[in-house]
């Protein structure tokens, strides 16, 4: 009985460690600016929206939000389409040197993203894509891991169903759209959610490839805000931070089991 009590205390302690910083963010974002700089700190805010209007005055957060949304939606759509089409081809179609080509796709996983920064910046600059959505989106839409996950999943589907579709005279694209994808919904959602989270959180690439306020994304905007406002504006900065976190936190709460499913699939079966 005593052991159980200790276990519960530890469990609550763990919850506090992980929730504490998030509560600190939330409460600060809604505190009166003066309340933030009182000591000892107030644990409960006198609710106000003031920090948000201050944040909006300090930086074009609506524009950052729009940019982040555009690159997340477009980037995710293009990457997932790439993954699905490539995976379908590798799972269902014949082609000479198919195996080598598959290794060429998977091999991209061996290339660390951070190592590609400088050459990709130069490539994008050559293409005239600095400060453009193309420059922000296109370099990231190649897909190795998502292709791998989708293909492995396609291979587990019963061949009778696709064969039947072929006998019924359905072409490959029709089979993919009408038969294979509907049977792959959970894996598809997993890939979409994981990709969207990555796109939204992407930091170093948007930092490098944009230099005008109107093309910044939320995470980069946050860095600029923090550097400019410094210690003077923790309320403003926390309001901006909440704006970056809230959408992903919401998606996480809704699609939690798909995120967890995809991550453990990569670790335990991959």
Residues 138-197 that bind other proteins (CB under 8 A): 138-144, 147, 164, 167-168, 172, 197
User: Is residue 56 within the footprint of other proteins (CB under 8 A)?
Assistant: no
Q: Per the structure block, which two tokens stand in for 6? A: 């200790």
User: Is residue 9 within the footprint of other proteins (CB under 8 A)?
Assistant: no
CA pair distance 182, 175, nearest whole angstrom:
10
**Which stretch, 69-77, 148-156, 179-187, 248-256, contacts other proteins (CB under 8 A)?**
248-256
Q: In the set 223, 232, 250, 254, which binds other proteins (CB under 8 A)?
A: 223
Nearer to other proteins (CB atom), residue 135 or residue 187: 135
Q: In the set 40, 100, 158, 185, which binds other proteins (CB under 8 A)?
A: 40
From residue 90 to residue 129, the character string flagging contacts with other proteins as x (rule: CB under 8 A) and all else as - is: x--xxxx-x--x--xx-xx-xxxxxxxxxxxxxx------
User: Is residue 239 within the footprint of other proteins (CB under 8 A)?
Assistant: no
**Which stretch, 15-23, 48-56, 58-66, 181-189, contacts other proteins (CB under 8 A)?**
15-23
**Which stretch, 57-65, 151-159, 177-185, 246-254, contacts other proteins (CB under 8 A)?**
246-254
User: Is residue 8 within the footprint of other proteins (CB under 8 A)?
Assistant: yes
CA distances from 122 to 119, 128, 238 (A): 5, 10, 34
């Amino acid at each position: 009985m005593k052991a159980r009590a200790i276990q519960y205390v530890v469990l609550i302690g763990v919850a506090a460690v992980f929730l504490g910083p998030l509560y600190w963010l939330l409460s600060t974002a809604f505190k009166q600016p003066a309340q933030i700089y009182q000591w000892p700190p107030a644990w409960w805010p006198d609710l106000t929206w003031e920090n948000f209007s201050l944040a909006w005055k300090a930086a074009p957060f609506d524009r950052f939000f729009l940019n982040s949304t555009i690159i997340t939606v477009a980037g995710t759509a293009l990457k997932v389409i790439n993954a699905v089409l490539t995976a379908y081809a590798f799972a269902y179609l014949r082609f000479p040197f198919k195996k080598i080509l598959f290794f060429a796709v998977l091999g991209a996983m061996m290339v660390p993203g951070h190592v590609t920064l400088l050459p990709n910046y130069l490539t994008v600059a050559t293409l005239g894509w600095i400060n453009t959505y193309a420059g922000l989106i296109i370099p990231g839409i190649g897909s190795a891991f998502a292709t791998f996950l989708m293909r492995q999943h396609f291979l587990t589907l019963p061949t009778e169903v696709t064969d039947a579709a072929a006998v019924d005279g359905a072409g490959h694209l029709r089979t993919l759209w009408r038969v294979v994808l509907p049977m792959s919904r959970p894996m598809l959602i997993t890939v979409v959610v994981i990709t969207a989270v990555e796109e939204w959180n992407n930091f170093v690439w948007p930092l490098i490839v944009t230099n005008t306020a109107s093309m910044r994304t939320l995470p980069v905007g946050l860095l600029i805000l923090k550097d400019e406002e410094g210690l003077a504006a923790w309320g403003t900065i926390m309001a901006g931070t909440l704006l970056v976190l809230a959408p992903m936190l919401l998606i996480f709460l809704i699609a939690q089991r798909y995120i967890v499913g995809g991550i453990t699939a990569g670790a335990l079966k991959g």
